[in-house]
Chain A
Amino acid sequence: MTEVFLKALIKGDSKVISKIYKTTFLSVQKFILQNKGNEQDSEDIFQKALLQIVVRYKREKFEITSSFEAYLFTVCKNLWRRELNSYRKRVTNTEVIELKSDYRDNSLALVEQKRQELFIEKLNEISDNCRNILTLFFAKTSYADIVENTEYNSESVVRQRVFKCKKKLTDLIKKDVRYNSLKEL
């Protein structure tokens, strides 16, 4: 079904595009409205996401392992996360923002999406225990709170565990050839 959606989308098949709007747009809009966005933002993000998927498929015929709707929702969510963070950076001026064309910016967003997929894929390859502790760690949970909410007895044990789990994760990522084009050194 995903393949059918992708091919029809590339051809600009209005019926299929309408179907995609009917099945997924409302949930994307709800997410964006609940996260500081407005209706126009949700329309822009939805269209950007569809274009991103089409451009990527044209270049590399990638495989979508979930349903098309679920994947589209994730891409929209990530593009909105990106937009909010980009706005935050512009306002706080924490980093020098270079002016880029929309085409360039959309291309960078696509590569960032691929990097996120790779990281999540690798996170799912490590043990449940490691994934659980790293999920808490990256969500900025303090070591004290991690101790309170897991089976570990002290902060130093948690620190050691986080260190080992992070090493496993980074080793897996570095070993993957796809990381070479995504690491941006």
Chain B
Amino acid sequence: MSLKDDILIEHFLRNRLSKEEESQFLKRIELDEHFKEQFVIEKQLFETLNEEEWSFMGNVNTTEIEEYEKLFKSEETLELKKKLKEVSSNYKKNTRRKRIITFISSAAAIVFFVIGLNIFFTSTVDSKELYANNIELEKLPSFKNRGENNAEIHLITAEELFKEKKYKKSISVFDEFLMKNKSNSSVYIYKAIAHIELNQYKKGKNILDELIHSDLIDAEKGYWYKGLLFVKFNELENAKKTLNIIVEKSYFKNKEAKSLLEKL
């Protein structure tokens, strides 16, 4: 398989071939078994490893599929299906009842619910989900109790942009602030997360390294967010190394780091 063929397959899968090139491509697939084999695996990878797509099997007959089909059709499975419907309907009734109670005793119940949700979310294995479940954007320190001078008022604006997920705009304000003032670790953290959310790996990593190597009191916080950056971008070995530093040195979020390590 040459690089040229690889690029050709990629262009086909991303709809970048002209009509004529496309028809030549399809002819080649019919004639060239090796090329076809490579195309099939690349197509499956493209569809499987892109969260927005899914790689379907053709309606093929294999012993494996026939055996599964038999099991799906079996009396036992049909019985289980009925049972699942029963439990689901009971669960719904109970949840409705609970919702009413929850509504009445709102404050305590809301706290419980949030804790409960955190537990559910941290139990997934997908690295992007692990990142999403640990980043806790809502718990980032707010700049709102400051706002004593113009520069800090800008930070409040940047924080609002950040919360509205306007990450690019918030980064420009944080950059402007950092050019004049490098004494606030939260600014580094906000800027880093904004880059991570925009899938800007290198920029996110650079700003966290800058924080880690600074002499700010909260410099150690950089390790936690760097660990999460590695998790999001699937660099699991680096993530483990960074999280181990946090656990060994009892840095910020060391308990969370320990728990995250167990899931990696």
Contacts and interface: CB of A to CB of B under 8 A. Distances in A.
A84 to B, nearest CB: 8
Interface stretch (B19-27, B65-73, B168-176, B243-251): B65-73
A148 B68 contact: no
Nearest to B71: A55
B112 interface: no
Interface in B47-76: 48-60, 62, 64-69, 71-73, 76
Interface in B105-160: 116-117, 120-121, 123-126
Nearest to A58: B71
Nearest to B84: A47
B54 A85 contact: yes
Interface string A135-163: 11011110001001111000000011001
A168 interface: no
A173 interface: yes
Counting contact residues on chain B (CB < 8 A from A), the size range is: 35 or more
Contacts of B44: 115, 119, 183
A103 B90 contact: no
Contacts of B83: 12, 14, 17
Contacts of B199: 136, 139, 141, 145, 149
Counting contact residues on chain A (CB < 8 A from B), the size range is: 35 or more
A64 to B, nearest CB: 10
B97 interface: no
B218 interface: no
A150 B199 CA distance: 11
Contacts of B84: 17, 47, 50-51
B80 interface: yes
Given A21-B91, A134-B49, A149-B200, A111 B57 contact: yes
B32 interface: no
A38 interface: no
B59 A108 contact: yes
A132 B124 CA distance: 20
A26 B80 contact: no
Given A47-B81, A100-B59, A124 B236 contact: yes
B104 interface: no
B72 A27 contact: no
B126 to A, nearest CB: 6
A112 B236 contact: no
Contacts of B68: 55-56, 59, 106-107, 110-111
Top 7 nearest A-B pairs by Cβ distance?
A107-B68, A138-B49, A27-B120, A85-B54, A66-B125, A103-B72, A128-B235
Interface of A: 9-10, 12, 14, 17-18, 21-27, 30, 43, 46-47, 50-51, 54-56, 58-59, 66-67, 69-71, 73-74, 77-78, 81-82, 84-86, 98, 100, 102-104, 106-108, 110-112, 115-116, 119-120, 123-124, 128-129, 131-132, 134-136, 138-141, 145, 148-151, 159-160, 163, 166-167, 169-170, 173-174, 181, 183-185
